[in-house]
Amino acid sequence: MSDDIRFFQLNTGAKMPSVGLGTWQSDPGLVGQAVAIAIKVGYRHIDCAQVYGNEEEIGFVLKKMFEDGIVKREDLWITSKLWCTDHAPEDVPEALNRTLKDLQLDYVDLYLIHWPMRTKKGSVGFKPENLAQPDIPSTWRAMEALYDSGKARAIGVSNFSTKKLGDLLEVARVPPAVIQVECHPSWQQTKLHAFCKSKGVHLTGFSPLGSPGTTWFKGDVLKHPVLTMAAEKLGKSPAQVALRWGLQMGHSVLPKSTSESRIKENFDVFGWSIPEDLFAKFSEIEQARLMTASFFVHDTLSPYKTVEEFWDGEI
């Protein structure tokens, strides 16, 4: 196992930095500072989304970083995501234009369909009456046009099941380069991982530490005995071991933090590796999805009646 897994090559030929800073649930006022710290530490990958409500703040910081000569645009990998209200083909380019304006960029390196679910245009939140039937093939055709235009240098999806990704691959002219999903030692996505490998789609793991800071769901991923034991033996933190496990599994990771010490700690995952005997023990960890997306499920108002149906049995 090579000690340095600093990039993963996508099916577009582009090299995506393997560790990115997550910005979901990073408070306004703190997120810009976190991005600045991360870039100075050495991060070259920032994961954004319109719905996070902080792209404008991130844009100001990126502009300053470029102006001050700290980093060049071409050295950064910036991802953003299409929100559920903007799935109509005519709304897709408008949504990306808003994101580019907020981020003060001419292009994003990667643009993802955030969820395989549509909500009514202009609606806010997940009220059942806002849910609508998605039409992923038509949304994807609009994404392909963004790829053709160069405004999105790669396109992909997020929160898709193996089946939903397979259905998209059957109709896509431009195959998704990346699928971003929850992935950590307690939700290893074994089936999806194998499918992605066979199809040349790169998997990125969000919540790679099990989202210890989130208010939506509670995961004790970092307290699992396999992780704490490996951390002790390697002289690393459980968070570093969880991130390194992801890299050695072959997927990129998006740890989120606004704390300078944690941002630094989470990037110290190169130049060492988890030996095979310890790595094998990760397969013994009991599996449970933390992000169930129950907010997209409804008996009568959603196309998905159950969580099982939404994830096509992958729960």
Q: Which residues are catalytic?
A: 52
Q: Which helix (H) or strand (E) holds 196?
A: helix 190-199
Cα–Cα distance list, 72 to 14, 87, 204, 219, 308 (Å): 17, 32, 24, 37, 44
Pairing of strands 110-113, 155-158: parallel
Q: How far apart are CA 239 and CA 175, in angstroms?
A: 32
Asked if residues 237 and 265 have their Cβ atoms less than 8 Å apart, the reply is yes
Asked if residues 102 and 49 have their Cβ atoms less than 8 Å apart, the reply is no
Q: How far apart are CA 54 and CA 225, in angstroms?
A: 36
- Return all residues near 293 (Cβ < 8 A) that are at least 6 apart: 115, 117, 159, 307, 310, 311
Q: How far apart are CA 228 and CA 238, in angstroms?
A: 6
| DSSP secondary structure code for residue 300 in this structure | T
Instruction: Collect contacts of 256-259 with beta carbons under 8 A, ≥24 apart.
Output: 256/21, 256/22, 256/23, 256/24, 256/25, 256/26, 256/211, 256/213, 257/21, 257/34, 257/213, 258/26, 258/27, 258/30, 258/31, 258/33, 258/34
Tokens of 119: 């909500």
Q: Which helix (H) or strand (E) holds 262?
A: helix 260-267
Tokens of 261: 């010490």
